[in-house]
Amino acid sequence: MAKTTVLKALKWNECSSTMAHQLTATTYLSDMVYECPASALPKNFQNVPGLSAIYLSGYCRPLEVFPSLSASGEIVTVRYDAEACKIKTYNYVFARTDDNRVFWTGPFKDFDLHHIQLDREVPIDDLFGKNPFA
């Protein structure tokens, strides 16, 4: 399946004004990683069991998903899975429309660093770019 077809088939969720502001204001300076308070994101992010951190990063150049929607950056969530005794990470992408509405899609978890042993150190930057846009 072509990459364009995969990207168009993703489910895009519209951000609340709080989330949209957090994503766009925090990532105004692109290509850097910022920690994000869970309270700025929807309940489905906040209620993840074992959630320990949320990170944001904006792209240097938006990536066109399709006309009028461009991927602007990524969200990475990190949680402790007590049952598996591992850290689990999830990657999401956020995008902006031509009329400045903000949407997100994910989680993406088909990557090597989705499951991390507790004693392994992983640079935060390594958790980004783990999605179909990369």
Position 84 in a domain: yes
The residue segments making up the domain with residue 9 are 3-120
Per-residue pLDDT of the chain (134 residues; tens, 9 = 90+): 444 555 567 899 999 888 898 888 888 777 789 998 888 888 888 888 999 999 999 998 888 888 889 999 999 999 998 888 899 999 999 999 999 999 999 999 989 989 888 888 888 999 999 988 77
For 52, phi then psi, to 5°, come to: -120, -25
Number of domains in the chain: 1
Which pLDDT score, from 0 to 100, does residue 5 have?
53
Position 134 in a domain: no
- Dihedral over Cα of 30, 34, 28, 89: its sign: positive
According to the 3-state scheme, what is the secondary structure of the chain?
CCHHHHHHHCCCEECCHHHHHHHHHHCCCCCCEEECCHHHCCHHHHCCCCEEEEEEEEEEEEEEEECCEEEEEEEEEEEEECCCCEEEEEEEEEEEECCCCEEEEEEECCCHHHEEECCCCCCHHHHCCCCCCC
Position 128 in a domain: no
Position 56 in a domain: yes
Task: Convert the pLDDT of each residue in 72-84 to its tens digit.
Answer: 999 999 999 888 8
* Six token digits for residue 134: 């990369």
Tell me how far apart the alpha carbons of residues 12 and 45 are, in angstroms, rounded to a whole number: 15
Tell me how far apart the alpha carbons of residues 118 and 101 are, in angstroms, rounded to a whole number: 38
**β-sheet bridge partners, residue 64:** 70
Position 131 in a domain: no
Position 38 in a domain: yes
Position 125 in a domain: no
Position 102 in a domain: yes
